[in-house]
Chains A and B, each alone.
Chain A
């Protein structure tokens, strides 16, 4: 998708399932941000949000969930990613409106 001369990047999101836990993995290039689905750790999520926000200053992006198993975690992550993508889009516009995007 082209936006104001720039392509919006699409990054991969995956779900890592273990015995008693599951984690949504947001992959931004070589960096992977983890959101643990089986525990409530708001500070960890905020840390990820902070990173996403910083990353958003460099360009608009969204996530695409790649997962084949339609279990509870899939539904959670699908909804979460859909909502997050919508919010990333709005936030990018807000950064832009406030002149806080990084200039090349």
Chain B
């Protein structure tokens, strides 16, 4: 929620830019694009009630429009500018007064004294914002003292700085200060509005804003109470005497105080409390976790299923390879034996069937199995679409009938082909069996040697072909490359983005680099030897030594532990920056881990000393905005910190201060808006939030020096 207390909607003076002129449509469009929720129209020595009313009406419900004028003040011959903004309820009266005071004098030449401004407008419930110091033309400190003495409430006098840094410095010196856009060109307003002051508390009216200027406790409490809060009783120190009730807002809650005052224990007690209520919380402690462990560089949790990466695990092929045995061939002596003996049995001489050569039955068998697979797949497909009622609803009966028709025809065709191939296969199979049976029976009956029916080449070759096929498939899958898994770790600012890269490779027998580790293995497995041996086997498929090599594979110690290509998988998980290996420093690790913690979608964030190992810039530019974003969306952010960037610049709804003295420990709570801290035990006087923050927190003074970015209330 931004506030802009200084805008121009008209070129009034000759020196004004034409780009200050804006019509109601464009104004509405621009305001809708910004986060500005309060805007004061403060043209030079001029107030246009009609335009004010139009603008106010057009953005009603989006942005409050306040009525004002930027007066040219003349004091002791010096000119200065003073913005006077009145309660919008008095806009009509304000308009009349402005017209009365200015009369027919042109805006270029009109001047007014401080006395006249106050006497004419203070009664209209006004605030006065003086150009100050570098914001020219400025009122002097003397002029401001005079103004403060003239107005009915000196807290209604603010100083306008030229930018947020200056405003922060003025605030640090105890001056109420603010700055506005002083818009020169409405075309740039959306962009310029991002640097406007942010209202931490949701101010709903001009009156509420003025009460905040007065640090009115009731008003602050009313606004704070709009946020949900819960009063929690904790026993963080396991000591009944130190039971504490603390309020936790759905916003930023800061725990601060000297070291050793139990802040971490309070966070842990809160975590226990919330976990007991069913939330899943844990205290994030900076530096307690190593980035290497968080991102599991050792891969203890790494599980990869290579089949999901398009790689066959070849478990069946590895089993077949290990179980492969040589097929024996027909001995030549069997032929010699058979032909050396003359057939004497007359009947056997007449039988011709044993003279037939057996036929190749593997080919028709494969042919039949191919079509059988096709049939199975189509039947599965049919089962799928007939069982899926939702699909039926989607595609409709007509389309489903067309599909049914086509599939039935295909199944019929495949069935017919399947029958033919089955007959082919079986007839050859029966024929071969018949030949073998006759050969065997004739031999038995005649006492003659059995006639060999095959040389054994086909079976011998078939066995080698199967081995070659298996080995080829295994090696093809081993040689496949896997895309590395890259996950974003975090932003290292100017250095770039830090990534965690997991390189996955399959041991092919040649990888000796020690940086590649086995996945999910506590004991060493002989990946390299196994792969190496399979490669060697592939070179001996058509050699007599093939089975010696297969035996060598089986004899490798623990080779049975390699049951699939999954077991050959190696990984190297590491961090990269610009795609180069990178080891993040402790500070960088803290940065990304904290950032990641805050990026998690949680209801409750419990963070202990997030500032550890982090630079101020990173805290201010990255962490503080993130914390504020969480608060905006109603999350409970509870932070124990010594860092003023966090404790002050976030302007927490709730500050819990822990103090220790000779008599014991004390818990105070308060906020920057009321600027006090109240002791829970009533044993101690209230403390000043600002001075305690400045004293207790690291970087307290400078944090207050830049608070102009956020219009708080100190």
Query: Which residues of chain A have a CB within 8 Å of any CB of chain B?
Result: 35-40, 42-43, 45-47, 49-54, 56, 72, 75-76, 79-80, 82-84, 86-91, 93-95, 97-98, 100
**B544 contacts A50, CB within 8 Å?**
yes
Q: Which residues of B contact A42 (CB under 8 A)?
A: 328-329, 331
Q: Which residues of B contact A75 (CB under 8 A)?
A: 339
**B458 contacts A91, CB within 8 Å?**
yes
CB distance from B438 to the nearest CB of A (A): 15
Q: Which residues of A contact B543 (CB under 8 A)?
A: 50
Contact with A along B477-497 (1 / 0, CB 8 A): 000000000000000000000
CB distance from A34 to the nearest CB of B (A): 12
Q: Which residues of B contact A36 (CB under 8 A)?
A: 332
Q: Does B455 contact A (CB under 8 A)?
A: yes
**B461 contacts A80, CB within 8 Å?**
no
Q: A46-B544, A72-B336, A98-B469 are in contact. List 12 more A-B contacts (CB 8 A).
A: A36-B332, A37-B336, A38-B336, A40-B332, A49-B460, A72-B339, A75-B339, A84-B455, A86-B359, A90-B362, A97-B363, A97-B366
A-B contact pairs, 21 of them (CB 8 A): A38-B336, A39-B332, A40-B332, A40-B333, A42-B329, A49-B461, A52-B457, A56-B461, A72-B336, A76-B336, A79-B335, A80-B332, A80-B335, A80-B455, A83-B358, A84-B457, A89-B360, A90-B360, A90-B362, A90-B458, A91-B458
The residue from B455, B456, B468 contacting A100, defined by CB atoms under 8 A apart: B468
A90 to B464, CA, bound (A): 14
Q: Does B92 contact A (CB under 8 A)?
A: no
Q: Which residues of B contact A91 (CB under 8 A)?
A: 360, 457-458, 461-462, 465
A93 to B328, CA, bound (A): 21
Q: Does B453 contact A (CB under 8 A)?
A: yes
Q: Does B454 contact A (CB under 8 A)?
A: yes
**A87 contacts B458, CB within 8 Å?**
yes
CB nearest to A90 among chain B residues:
B360
Residue of B452, B465, B468, B469 most packed against chain A (CB within 10 A): B465
Q: Which residues of A contact B379 (CB under 8 A)?
A: none
Q: Which residues of A contact B461 (CB under 8 A)?
A: 49, 52-53, 56, 87, 91, 94
Residue of A45, A47, A90 most packed against chain B (CB within 10 A): A90
Q: Does B340 contact A (CB under 8 A)?
A: yes
A39 to B336, CA, bound (A): 10
Q: Which residues of A contact B373 (CB under 8 A)?
A: none
CB distance from A17 to the nearest CB of B (A): 14
CB distance from A35 to the nearest CB of B (A): 7
CB nearest to B466 among chain A residues:
A98
Q: Does B582 contact A (CB under 8 A)?
A: no
Those 8 A-B pairs whose CB atoms lie nearest each other, nearest first: A90-B360, A87-B458, A87-B457, A50-B542, A91-B461, A76-B335, A93-B363, A75-B339
A84 to B358, CA, bound (A): 10
Q: Which residues of B contact A53 (CB under 8 A)?
A: 460-461, 464-465, 542
Among residues 632 to 660 in chain B, which have CB atoms less than 8 Å away from a CB atom of chain A? none
Among residues 359 to 415 in chain B, which have CB atoms less than 8 Å away from a CB atom of chain A? 359-360, 362-363, 366
Q: Does B680 contact A (CB under 8 A)?
A: no
Given contacts A83-B453, A84-B455, A86-B359, contact A45 B329 (CB under 8 A): yes
A91 to B151, CA, bound (A): 110
Given contacts A42-B331, A80-B335, contact A95 B465 (CB under 8 A): yes
Q: Does B51 contact A (CB under 8 A)?
A: no
A88 to B542, CA, bound (A): 15
Q: Which residues of B contact A47 (CB under 8 A)?
A: 544
Q: Does B218 contact A (CB under 8 A)?
A: no
The residue from A46, A93, A94 contacting B329, defined by CB atoms under 8 A apart: A46
A31 to B286, CA, bound (A): 78
Among residues 167 to 224 in chain B, which have CB atoms less than 8 Å away from a CB atom of chain A? none
Q: Does B583 contact A (CB under 8 A)?
A: no
CB distance from A84 to the nearest CB of B (A): 5
**B339 contacts A43, CB within 8 Å?**
no
A82 to B468, CA, bound (A): 27
**A93 contacts B469, CB within 8 Å?**
no
A87 to B472, CA, bound (A): 24
CB nearest to B542 among chain A residues:
A50
A42 to B328, CA, bound (A): 8
CB distance from A93 to the nearest CB of B (A): 4
Among residues 427 to 454 in chain B, which have CB atoms less than 8 Å away from a CB atom of chain A? 451-454
CB nearest to A50 among chain B residues:
B542
Q: Which residues of A contact B542 (CB under 8 A)?
A: 50-51, 53-54
Q: Which residues of A contact B460 (CB under 8 A)?
A: 46, 49, 53
Among residues 336 to 366 in chain B, which have CB atoms less than 8 Å away from a CB atom of chain A? 336, 339-340, 357-360, 362-363, 366
Q: Which residues of A contact B462 (CB under 8 A)?
A: 91, 94
Q: Which residues of A contact B451 (CB under 8 A)?
A: 79
Q: Which residues of B contact A87 (CB under 8 A)?
A: 360, 454-455, 457-458, 461
A56 to B462, CA, bound (A): 12
**B454 contacts A83, CB within 8 Å?**
yes
A37 to B331, CA, bound (A): 10
**B332 contacts A94, CB within 8 Å?**
no
Q: Which residues of A contact B332 (CB under 8 A)?
A: 35-37, 39-40, 45, 76, 80
**B457 contacts A49, CB within 8 Å?**
yes
